[in-house]
A and B are shown apart, each in its own frame.
Chain A
Amino acid sequence: MTIKKEQQIELNLVKASIKGNRRALEKLIRKYINFCYSISLVLTGNKKLALLATKKTLNEIYNSISYISKANIFKIWLYNTLKNNIQKIQEKNYNSFKIENKIFFDDIDKTLAIQENLFQELMHLPKEQREIIALVDFEGLDCEEVADILDEPVLDIRTKLYNAKIALYNKFFLEKERIL
């Protein structure tokens, strides 16, 4: 399926949800569970907090989707809502949530320590760089979509993404080679 077709299907899903179609809304929420979770996890580094923010954001989709004026701004609205929720939860529970030393992935082989290490290295990057890597590499968005979401020029996003990836590469692969 081409990217444009996929985007069109998603747009139709959002339009139907705005009009009050329950099935479409459920599909939409299922589609965005992992989006919310992975972004929250990368931004916070805490599994519990990420789940909380995900749940809160999805609840807001359920309650407030009918107030969105245009279907094509859904992703931007969702992203901003998610970030606000993360911030609110962090402010409320400032001391109880900290970056975890180990993030256990449920769907991958836990013995693969390399992946765990890469995630840890990712968490050591500045928040701004983590955010872009999560949106591009985890969610498969292109730089133009990321620029729309973060309200920044595309060129800046491309440069930041490149710098982030090179920093991560140097931290992870070069460090690994040095140890070996």
Chain B
Amino acid sequence: MDCQEIVIHLTEYSRGQLPFEEFKEVKEHLETCNKCKTENEKLENLSLTLDKIIPSVNKYFEKKIILDIFVKTENESTITKFIVVSLIISFFILIFSYFFDYKSYNYPTLKKLQETAEKLF
């Protein structure tokens, strides 16, 4: 590898992400080339500073997000399930009432009910 190829591998080199063969090659090159060594120092210095500014969600938001996802979504899904079940039930009631013939059904008259009651008691 020449200097141009070496410098593009430097970030992975300093993070230990290079395969062994390439790592060895870069290491040997850095021992002999001052220009690349300086570049490597620059990048390492920058990486160290970048490590300090890694953004992270604070604990409060982390908890809030987890709660929102697991509790709210679960509640929402329970409500959705309830709505779906109610809709299915009302659909069946509607179908049943459509086919049910109210006119031909003999409703018991008051007199008949009284007679039945008298028979019973």
Residues 49 to 106 of chain B near chain A (Cβ within 8 Å): 49-58, 61-62, 65-66, 68-70, 73
- Contact flags (1/0) for A1-34 with B, using CB distance below 8 Å? 0010000000000000000000000100110011
With contacts A55-B65, A62-B69 taken as known, whether A165 is within 8 angstroms of B56 at the C-beta atoms is: no
Residues of B within 8 A of A34 (CB): 54-57
Asked if B68 and A142 sit within 8 Å, CB to CB, the answer is no
**Distance in angstroms between the alpha carbons of A118 and B54 in the assembled complex:** 11
Dominant SS at the B interface?
A: helix
Asked if B73 and A62 sit within 8 Å, CB to CB, the answer is yes
- Residues of A in contact (CB 8 Å), total 47
With contacts A105-B55, A165-B46, A168-B46 taken as known, whether A54 is within 8 angstroms of B11 at the C-beta atoms is: no
Using a Cβ cutoff of 8 Å, how many contacts connect chains A and B? 103
Asked if B73 and A59 sit within 8 Å, CB to CB, the answer is yes
With contacts A26-B66, A59-B73 taken as known, whether A162 is within 8 angstroms of B53 at the C-beta atoms is: no
Is the CB of A69 closer than 8 A to any CB of chain B?
A: no
Is the CB of A169 closer than 8 A to any CB of chain B?
A: yes
Closest beta carbon of chain B to A135's beta carbon, Å: 11
- Residues of B in contact (CB 8 Å), total 31
**Distance in angstroms between the alpha carbons of A103 and B62 in the assembled complex:** 18
Asked if B46 and A173 sit within 8 Å, CB to CB, the answer is yes
Identify the 3 closest CB pairs spanning chains A and B, nearest first. Answer: A106-B58, A142-B17, A158-B8
Interface residues of B (CB under 8 A from A): 7-12, 15, 17, 42-43, 45-47, 49-58, 61-62, 65-66, 68-70, 73
